Amino acid sequence: MLLAVLSGFIIATITPLAGKLFRSKWSVGLTAVPLALFIYFLSFIPAVSNGQVLLFNYEWVPSMGINFNFLLDGLSLLFALMITGIGALVYLYTSSYMKDDPGLDKFYGYLSLFMSAMLGMVMSDNLFTLFIFWELTSISSFFLIGFDNENKESRKAALISMALTGLGGFFLLAGFAIVANITGTYTISEMMGSGDIFKDHPLYIVIIICFFLAAFTKSAQFPFHFWLPGAMKAPTPVSTYLHSATMVKAGIYLLARFTPLLGDHIYWNNTLMIVGGITMVYAAFHSILKKDLKEILAYSTISALGMLVFLLGLGHAEAFIAMAVFIVVHALYKATLFLITGILDHETGTRDINRLSGLRKVMMPLAIAGFLAVLSNSGIPPSFGFVGKDLIYSATLHSETLAIFITVAAVVTNIFLLYSSFLAGIKPFAGKLPSEYKDVHMPDWRMWVPPLICGIAGIVFGIFPMLAEGSIIRPAVSAIAPEVPEFHLQLWHGFNTVLGLSAITIIVGILLYVIFKPNDRHNAWMNKFESFSPKSIAAGVNKLFMKFAVTWTNLLQNGYLRIYVLTVISFLTILLAYKAFTVSSLDINLTKISALTSAEVAVMVILIVSVLYAVYSPSRLAAIAAMGVIGYCICLVFIFYSAPDLAMTQFTIDTLTVILFLLVMYRLPKYVLYTNKLIRIRDAIISLIFGTLITLLALEVHHEPTNKETTRFYAENSYALAKGKNIVNVILVDFRGMDTMIEIIVLSISALGVFALLKLQLNEFDREI
């Protein structure tokens, strides 16, 4: 299982090393990876459908309770199959769609990284590994959305999505920390029986707010939805993979996974129902006003995500069944429509629905795929979407509160979604073929087969819903609801209220499509309210924040290193003075200070002379030499007090520092005084005060009792536990190995940054940026 989850990271590591291979026709071979994973997860269906919950445990940082614990139940299996199944089709599609792109190998690397991050997230049974994978989905999606990095709009969209999802990630970490503190464990499966503890806890509201902010930003819920339409600047494979079946459903997964722990409470249910309800109606209405195919699909996706959150908010088993079915329905029809949109844009050069028509005459397989997707999107039999829509209406009608009101909201939403699906899946293929498109031809089979497969799957599951019922739907619902009533998915339930609502949805939606045509006048009318939109408000807040940042930077970050040092030293001086005169007794015991030897006196005299010479020297090179002498004097002090390892370290660092300073300073112009006498007096006073305080505190240390407990521990255990005889080395690489690793990472990142700056070659385009 660990290899399956991390396989995408392995591919992401390999692709840069074998870039030429993956930029050729052999790129199609990468499809085997998600396809093999899809088959692998299919093999778990018999066990999971029988009610088994499979656990896979791999130790990572066991002392801190952070491990690669993977849980495979119905919910995680449902998402894993979507991630790998849709992923395989996207990989195949990409091999043709982006075959001429020079960054194809890089794109596959990002795509593979994202796939593994999603798999790790839905499989994690540990809070912090789930958080790590959650953040990796944000990072990898940032690279995918901004893949066309020379396009300003792509870069902006990537930054906005990263900012919002990153903000959500911060709150998710806070929520996880509180949850772990209350339960005493990081293992999700172990805490699932602790729901009553949370609902009565004073921090319950804080916890659910953190979870809501994480889920709503990730799954584009109102008012955080505006990043998703902007993310459509990404290549079509990204839009298909991230925004139909995977990343945007990460928030849905989070809410579903923790519903048994935090759900069944008025705050949880009502918030989800209200936010989800507003999102689904708001976005569905916007989708009927758009002319760009990707924008239509973006807003209809936001609406569908709102529907899923809304169903979770209803909080009963019937709603969870409808949600599980709709997750599959939406993944299939939305992937189909996104892939078709990419082909239309690729072959015709436009996504404007007012310019596209009659393409069935030259792209019949795509027209069939689009028609099948529309059936499922619109909830028209015999599609799986019809089954899902009936379940949604049944769930709203059986709601305990405001059943009629929320059912009307669901019907209105589905009418708008039907209309938008006709725009995306029917409009480009119906009517007369314009003369400008008569030479348009079918693309390579790798582009039109994936949408056709998804479209057909939506019909197959509709005709034979039992294929999905026991294998993925029932186990997924069982992972959310404590008790699942007996149910059977079927295409026909007889003549009843639900069927009547479905008929109203279809009839009104088709009439709306016939009567209403989106145009520039509608967009102009909507633009009147743009200043009140969440996007404009967020942009205004960002502008104020940037103005504050500029003011603050100009005040404190003025580019002079001496000012930065002065600020730091001044703050430390105030802090030390406060500590020394309020907390410390300043009881200095001079009797504990050993007598000075002649050698020590000589070294101290040399050190003092070097300090004075470094301060008053008119030559930079002479000052640097004096600083080197000071460092060597400190080396001698270490030797006097039996610390040769510290002396060697100090000697090495001082030698290297002096050489580097000489190399840099030698090229600088002649020494010039940039400060006046008053500034130099100020600096001298602050330096003297700081030095005096440090001296007093160093002397007072002698008055404190010496505790050898830590020393004894390392001396007794260095060889016994770490098999090392050098205690300092053992502390660095074993007992405090995590600190050392983080320090190495920081230094490595700094080195990479310096190397990148040295190699940076700006062209005119970069300078404009």
Question: What are 510-540's pLDDT values in tens digits?
Answer: 999 999 888 777 777 777 777 778 888 888 8
Among 90, 124, 131, 119, residue whose Cα is nearest residue 107: 90
With respect to residue 70, please indicate whether it lies within any of the assigned structural domains.
no
Residue 188 to residue 195: CA distance in whole angstroms: 12
| Domain final residue, candidates 468, 496, 518 | 518
Six token digits for residue 304: 């569908």
In this structure, are residues 337 and 422 in contact, taking their beta carbons and an 8 Å threshold? no
Could you list the residue range(s) of the whole structural domain that residue 482 is in?
Answer: 315-518
- The verdict on residue 141 lying in a domain is no
Tokens 């870039």 locate to: 19
Strands 66-72 and 54-61: antiparallel
User: Residue 488 contacts by C-beta under 8 Å, 6 or more apart in sequence?
Assistant: 466, 469
Q: Cα separation of 132 and 140, whole Å?
A: 12
- 293 lies in some domain: no
Residue 739's pLDDT is: 82
Local structure of 71: helix, strand or coil: strand
Dihedrals phi, psi of 72, to nearest 5 degrees: -120, 100
Q: Diameter of the chain by CA atoms?
A: 108
Round to whole Å and give the CA distance between 116 and 4: 8
Q: What letter would DSSP give residue 360?
A: G
Structural contact between residues 116 and 5, judged by C-beta atoms closer than 8 angstroms? yes
Does 474 map to a domain? yes
For 107-124, the pLDDT digits (tens) are 999 999 999 999 999 999
Domain boundary among 518, 540, 558: 518
- In 3D, which of 308, 327, 269 has the Cα closest to residue 75? 327
What dihedral angle (degrees, nearest 10) is formed by the CA atoms of 259, 260, 262, 265? 90
Taking 70 as the pLDDT cut, the residues of the chain under it are 65, 583-593, 667, 669-674, 702-705, 761-769
Q: Angle formed by the axes of helices 250-262 and 74-97, to 10°?
A: 180
757 occurs within a structural domain: yes
- 3-class SS string, 198-223: HHCCCCHHHHHHHHHHHHHHHCCCCC
For the record, the structure tokens of 253 come out as: 């997964």
| pLDDT for res 582 | 76
Q: Per the structure block, which two tokens stand in for 333?
A: 């029809």
d(CA 285, CA 26): 44
Query: What's residue 518's pLDDT?
Result: 80
Total length of the chain: 769
> In whole angstroms, what is the distance from residue 173 CA to residue 132 CA?
9
CA 113, 118, 123, 128 dihedral sign is positive
Cα–Cα distance list, 20 to 27, 101, 251 (Å):
10, 12, 37
The answer as to whether 183 is a domain residue is: no
Cα separation, 603 vs 640, in Å, equals 11
Helix (H, G, I), strand (E, B) or coil at 406: helix
CA–CA gap between residue 276 and residue 446 (Å, rounded):
36
Task: State how far the Cα of 592 lies from the Cα of 589, in Å rounded to an integer.
Answer: 6
Which amino acid makes up residue 60? Answer: W
CA distance 664 to 122: 52
Given 518, 545, 571, the domain boundary residue is: 518
The pLDDT of residue 584 is 63
pLDDT of residue 625: 87
Evaluate whether residue 222 is within a structural domain. no
Number of domains in the chain: 2
Can you give the pLDDT at residue 524?
74
pLDDT for the residue 219: 92
Q: How many CA atoms lie within 13 A of 439 on its CB side?
A: 2
Would 497 be classed as within a structural domain?
A: yes
